[in-house]
């Protein structure tokens, strides 16, 4: 029930941002639509709704956004240089890394962050064993622990504070 209420509020906020008007007709339609969506998919949205009431998680999330954007920008420069380099300096392979995160949302964010940061693309997640298979455009090491250190650690630390 809590999960549905949170989804209802979030959906209504997105509706307000999309329509950009406070007319009562828009508000009623928005309430009906977000209520319907929350009724259908509310249980899937989050398993632990209490996490939404911890303010320190939002501060860590605010810290995470600029870090993520900076890594994203570096990765773009890196890939763009590889694209225009005449010899195509590629050294690809699929490596395995380990993570201590178990929560679905945290794993999704970790996989998305890895995909958007330098030279790495998540291919598959093994949730039970807690390992990710990652396509690396420039394989520096095939050792599981060293690769974990290089790819996962910088995000895992912060995501643990946000989602676990």
Kindly report the CA angle at 122 between 115 and 164, in degrees rounded to 5?
Answer: 85
Binding residues among 36-95 for another protein as defined by CB under 8 A:
72-73, 75-76, 79-80, 82-84, 88, 90-95
Segment near another protein (CB under 8 A); pick from 2-10, 23-31, 54-62, 118-126: 118-126
Residues 6+ apart with CB under 8 A from 32: none
Segment near another protein (CB under 8 A); pick from 28-36, 39-47, 56-64, 134-142: 134-142
CA distance 154 to 142: 19
CA distance 85 to 142: 25
| H/E stretch holding 131 | strand 131-136
Cβ at position 21, least distance to another protein in Å: 8
**Which residues contribute to the site for another protein (CB under 8 A)?**
14, 17-20, 72-73, 75-76, 79-80, 82-84, 88, 90-96, 108, 111-112, 115-116, 119, 121-124, 126, 133, 135, 137, 139, 142
């Amino acid at each position: 029930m809590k999960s549905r209420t949170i989804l209802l509020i979030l959906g209504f906020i997105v509706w307000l941002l999309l329509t950009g008007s406070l007319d009562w007709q828009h508000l009623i339609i928005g309430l009906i639509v977000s209520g319907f969506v929350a009724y259908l998919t509310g249980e899937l949205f989050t398993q632990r709704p209490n996490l939404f009431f911890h303010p320190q998680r939002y501060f860590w999330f605010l810290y995470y956004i600029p870090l993520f954007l900076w890594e994203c920008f570096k990765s773009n420069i890196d890939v763009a240089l590889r694209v225009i380099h005449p010899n195509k300096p590629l050294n690809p392979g699929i490596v395995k890394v380990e993570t201590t995160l178990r929560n679905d949302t945290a794993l999704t964010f970790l996989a998305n962050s890895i995909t958007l940061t330098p030279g790495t693309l998540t291919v598959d997640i093994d949730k039970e064993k807690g390992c990710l298979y990652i396509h690396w455009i420039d394989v520096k090491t095939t050792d599981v622990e060293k690769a974990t250190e290089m790819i996962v650690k910088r995000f895992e630390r912060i995501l643990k504070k946000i989602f676990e």
